[in-house]
Amino acid sequence: MKPVRWGILSTARIGTQKVIPAMQRADHCEIVAIASRDLNKAREVAATLGIPKAYGSYEELLADPEIEAVYNPLPNHLHVPLSVQAARAGKHVLCEKPLALTASEAGELIQARDAAGVLVQEAFMVRYHPQWLRARDLVRSGKIGDLRSVQGFFSYNNRDPHNIRNIADIGGGGLYDIGCYPITGARFLFETEPSRVVSLIERDPEWGIDRLTSAILEFPGGHATFTCATQLTPYQRMQILGTEGRIEIEIPFNAPVDVPCRIFVDDGSVLGNRGVTVEELPVTDQYTAQGEVISRAIRSGEPLEFPLENAIWSMRIIDAVFRSAESGVWESV
C-alpha cells in the first residue's frame, strides 16, 4: 500500500514535537509539506524535521496537487474554517480535538465532507492505544461485570497569559482542551451516548476561561464523572467500575512512548489494591497508530470506526456541559 502524502497546517507545537515525528515513523504516512503564515518559520521547521516543502500560507499548501491529506493542529477557533477549506480543496483531513467550538459549527464539516467526498477525522489518538483497546475488551468480556461508572481526572498547571489555552476568544479553557478526553473515554467504554449532563465551572477572573470543570454524564445503565483543570497540579487517571471489578488506566491520555503503559485490573476481593493484577501494554506511540489507521482508511476506502458523526456527539456533550454550568440544572444532550 502506497503511503498517503500529508501536508501540515501550521507549525504548532503539538504537531512539531509529537504528531509529525510520530507520523513520519508510520509505514503509510509521508509528510511532504508544512505551512505557516511565516515562511521563514515553515522553512525552519521543515529543515529540522526533514520535510521537503515549506509554504508561507495555508492556501498555498492546500493548492498543492501532490498533497492528499492534511493535519490541522491550528488553534481551536480555526479547526472548522481551515478543515472546510481543506475538504473543498479535495484533501482528506485529520483535525485536532476539539473538532469545533459547538456542535452546530462541527456540522459544517459534515456538509463539506459529504460535498467533497473526502475523509474527515477528529484526532483523538487515545482510541488507538493498546491500553484503551484492552480496557474496552475487558469491559466487553464482562471481566468487571456490568459497567456502571467511569471516573476521569485530567489536570495541568498553566498560568501563561499568552498561551492559546488561556485565551477565551480562540477557544481556550480546560473543557475544550482536556475535558474532551474523559468525555470521549466514557463514550468509548459505554459504547453509547449520554442523555443528559450536569456541571459546575469555575472561570479564571482575568481571562474568562474555564479553569476548573466537573460534570456528571448520565448514560443508559450508568454514570460518568470527570474533573478537568488548567491551574492544578498535573495529574490524570481513569477509573472504570463494574458490578464485579474495576479497571484503572494509569496514564490514560499522555501515554509515554518509551516505556510500557499499565492498567490495573481489580477483582474487588480485597481493599487497598491487594486484589489488583497489573497488565503491561506494549510500548506504542499513539500518534503513529492514529496516522496508520487514518492513512489505511484513506487508501482502502473502508469506513472508520469513529466517523465524523462521532465527534458531533462530543461537541453536543460539551455544549450541554457549558449550558448546565450557566443554568444550574441538568441539561439534555
Tens of pLDDT, residue by residue over 116-130, are 999 999 999 999 999
**Percentage, residues of the chain above pLDDT 70:** 100
* pLDDT attached to residue 236: 98
Q: How confident is the model at residue 1 (pLDDT cuts 50, 70, 90)?
A: confident
Q: Which pTM does this prediction carry?
A: 0.95
Question: b/e per residue, 223-252, with b = 16+ CB within 10 A?
Answer: bbbbbbbbbbeeebebbbbbeebbbbbebb
Quick one: DSSP state of residue 302? Answer: P
Indicate the helix (H) or strand (E) that contains 260.
Answer: none
Q: What's the pLDDT at 273? A: 78
DSSP per position, 183-197: HHHHHHHH-S--SEE
For β-strands 231-242 and 331-332, DSSP reports them as unpaired
Tell me how far CA of residue 122 lies from CA of 168, 261, 321, in angstroms: 21, 24, 20
With contact defined as beta carbons under 8 Å apart, do 46 and 24 qualify?
no
What's the confidence (pLDDT) of residue 268?
A: 86
222-280 pLDDT, tens digit per residue, is 999 999 999 999 999 999 999 999 999 999 999 999 999 999 999 988 887 778 999 99
- Taking residues 135-141, report their average pLDDT: 98
pLDDT of residue 269: 85
Please confirm whether the linkage preceding 98 is cis (ω < 30° from 0).
yes
Half-sphere exposure of 242 (CA within 13 A, CB side): 22
Contact call for residues 313 and 174 (beta carbons, < 8 A)? no
Over residues 78-130, the pLDDT tens digits come to 999 999 999 999 999 999 999 999 999 999 999 999 999 999 999 999 999 99
* Alpha-carbon separation of residue 85 from 38, 57, 93 (angstroms): 19, 13, 10
> How far is residue 80 from each of residues 33, 65, 124, 132, 287, measured CA to CA in Å?
21, 22, 16, 27, 21
Distance, CA of 56 to CA of 227 (rounded, Å): 40
Length of the chain: 333
Q: Where are the alpha helices (DSSP H) in 208-307?
A: 286-300
The string of pLDDT tens digits covering residues 184-233 is 999 999 999 999 999 999 999 999 999 999 999 999 999 999 999 999 99
